[in-house]
A and B are shown apart, each in its own frame.
Chain A
């Protein structure tokens, strides 16, 4: 993936995160905690569990549709990272060859079951993480972290990082373009040149930090910064949390899929 693509990608999710849909306006603390619970429930399913994972798709699907997040944006990213999970998981079918199921007479080994289980868990957890930021906005997440009792100092420097991320990415992008314009193929990308480039970036960053500090002083800074609290816990937030977590609990402990399957079987008789 070229640098350009990656750079614009982060901007895209960031832009989406400032929409004002129902999901966007939910309290960020709730969204973080529910998403975490989601991941815990999903990951806690035993390793050969595949069909029981299906109902869990309702959460990312809900976030995506109610939050007006384009499917393509999420799908592309999930696809892009999947090779990693495949690489690690592929050992399962290779090493675990005990046959566990024979649906329609086709033998399926435990290895393949656990492999696909890993893949589906991967899709569920990764898409949820992306959707979390897509419907929450980074300052929202920081506000939630502070109210969830993370140290204020940590949250404040997180906000600064976010603020200057795009600025520095832009500077970096321009450096790369400048280098590209004067290098041909692999020449110009050697370590020596790289060290020079990145050291310059580092010095410029430090100087920028010094100027920002001056700007802060010129507006009366004396050591304390306030993190703005924009959200209040309301009925909607609590309802959302309650419904979601209950669903997760049900999906985890009751084999909904089997029930549906059995119902279909008996209906077709």
Chain B
């Protein structure tokens, strides 16, 4: 894993039908950092992630990953470095069996059959789903699908992991397993989520987005304990901290 720096300089993005989504975002993420992206719905989180993972290209401003600036030509190259886990697992798992889904990426990277097999098995081991190799995706539980979706991305050996609402629809146990899994990854992680407790648990840094702009950017412990800031952005204190605050009254 090389040292890839994610840098956004005054990034704007406007959809073809005119709706503006990103209005000047700038930040810098260094290798190995885990950053949570929080904000109310419709504020630009998903658009930001899509830009970061080279599915969309900024209409103004610049994104650079490693030393490469994102544009139409460098798109493919940048996608190789980024593992994007979609919000809806059904969109991500599109092959007939788990094995083939995880193998899809490595095969497209041009690896040999043996290498592909190695990668697939390693990725599935990582998420504890090796026994599900021959299952069709529609026979998996939501938690299993989520784990396999992560494996499909890890098999490509990305430098940066970008995830959109990874814990949505998970039962508590699966959610805990996911959190532990993420904490074990050394990659750079950029996670958009409503689950502020997850961000608190996994990410040491948090960025709050509103109206397509960065409202605050700093250590999660600070940002996510700032009640006023959170309220302004249609958020609340992480549930685990609400209780602690209540304790003050007793």
Contacts and interface: CB of A to CB of B under 8 A. Distances in A.
A208 B91 CA distance: 7
B94 A215 contact: yes
A160 to B, nearest CB: 7
Interface residues of A, number: 27
A211 B109 contact: no
B97 interface: yes
Nearest to A168: B90
Interface in B133-186: 134-139, 152-153, 156
B36 interface: no
Interface stretch (B13-21, B37-45, B78-86): B78-86
A217 interface: yes
A154 interface: no
Interface core residue of A162, A208, A217 (most chain B CB under 10 Å):
A217
B80 A220 contact: yes
Nearest to B92: A215
Given A159-B96, A228-B99, A215 B86 contact: yes
Size class of the contact patch on chain B: 20 to 34
Contacts, number: 72
Classify the secondary structure of A's interface with B: helix
Nearest to A166: B138
Given A163-B95, A163-B136, A163-B137, A218 B88 contact: no
B90 A167 contact: yes
Contacts of B107: 226
Contact of B94 (A138, A216, A226): A216
Contacts of A159: 95-96
A150 to B, nearest CB: 16
B138 A220 contact: no
Given A211-B91, A215-B86, A220-B80, A142 B96 contact: yes
13 contacts: A18-B136, A139-B96, A163-B94, A163-B136, A167-B138, A211-B91, A214-B86, A215-B86, A216-B94, A218-B55, A220-B79, A221-B104, A228-B100
Interface of A: 15, 18, 138-139, 142, 159-160, 162-164, 166-167, 208, 211-212, 214-222, 225-226, 228
